[in-house]
Amino acid sequence: MSNIEQIAILELNDFFSGDDSIRDKFIKSLGDSLKEYGFFAIGNHGVSQELIDKNYDLMKKFFALDDEIKNKYEISDYDGQRGFTSYGTEHAKGSEHGDLKEFWHVGREVSEDHELYKVYRKNIWIDEVPTYKEASLELMNQLDALAINLLRALAIYLGEKTDTFDKLVLDGNSIVRTIHYPEIPEDAEPDAIRAGAHEDINLITILCEATAPGLELLRRDGSWMSVHAQEGYLIVDSGDMLARVTNEVIPATTHRVVNPDNSRTKRYSMPYFVHPRPDSNLKCLDTCKSDKNPKKYDDISANDFLMQRLREIGLIS
């Protein structure tokens, strides 16, 4: 395992190596880094950098539109799960101050004969940026493929069957979020930051390289550590749902987005939140409970847990 600021830097092709020692090292490094830091970096991941750049470029066009135009894509009864969420709406759990950001969500699309067709919110598409639909859905497909492989490696690390997470995330309620952090206004709340300290709700998050630094993770000793992907690498972190099903063997890691150099420049980022199917049961994995580590959480459906968290961060009332 090589390190950048103490998180593992991994190459996905090692997972498919015909050399068992290389594959085993990849699996151990992935699990150990999640366990200790909640983050790792992944290269040779199969996600097109050209496609990532295209998605950023298209969404920059949207965020540059007048508020009057953008606001027509914020649908009140969509609970922030699709389309636009305006500046300052979301806040970290337990914070009274809205984050200094606005964002756009694209979620799972399934066929009309799919059992989840009436469950998932319908995506909203941007009249002013018509090519975004194709670009965002293709990016989601590529990120999906990566997520499956990373979760398979994690399942092996935990002593579970390789496909343990497959049944949770197949056609799951995953979301691509493109975030715009505008220039920080002079009158911003002193206690507000770009994204307050929080844990992600989902299983894992795959972070496309942001356009500027600012991401920090909270080490287990309580100190903050800066994290920024090297060119060509993606960052992966663990969320609350993963902590729950692994009985905190893999804890969710607190992180935030700050303005490290006190500049007032814009910042864009693009996380992919990997969610289970809403009807999944977030129950503790058998390999993650023992007499020394008894089950910590009651079973709960993925949808009920998601709704609980969305209330806590202000996206639903």
DSSP 15-26: GG-S-HHHHHHH
Could you read off the pLDDT of 15-24 as tens digits, one per residue? 999 999 999 9
Please check whether residue 31 lies inside any domain of the structure: no
Strands across the sheet containing 195-198:
195-198, 255-257, 215-218, 224-226
Higher pLDDT, 250 or 313: 250
pLDDT at 261: 60
The confidence score (pLDDT) of residue 196 equals 75
Question: By residue range, what is the domain housing residue 213?
Answer: 48-312
Q: Considering the domain boundaries, does residue 8 fall inside one?
A: no
CATH code of the domain covering residue 184:
2.60.120.330
Ramachandran bin of 103, using left for φ above 0, alpha for ψ from -120 to 50, beta for the remaining angles: beta
218 domain residue, yes or no: yes
pLDDT exceeds 90 at position 211: no
Chain centre to alpha carbon of residue 284: 21
The whole-chain average pLDDT of the chain stands at 90
Q: What is the pTM of this model?
A: 0.91
Query: Whole-angstrom Cα distance, residue 51 to residue 134?
Result: 10
- Whether 42 is in a domain gets the answer no
The number of domains in the chain is 1
In a domain, 33, yes or no: no
pLDDT of 264 reads 61
How far apart are alpha carbons 64 and 97 in whole angstroms?
24
What is the reported pLDDT for 155? 98
Q: Is 11 exposed, middle or buried (0-12, 13-18, 19+ CB in 10 A)?
A: middle
- Does residue 183 fall inside a structural domain? yes
The CB density around residue 192, as the number of other CB atoms within 10 Å, is: 18
Query: 240-296, pLDDT tens digit by residue?
Result: 999 999 999 999 999 998 765 655 678 899 999 999 999 999 999 999 999 999 999
Residue 171, in any domain of the structure: yes
- 112 lies in a domain? yes
Q: Which of 183, 179, 233, 241 is nearest to 206 (CA)?
A: 233
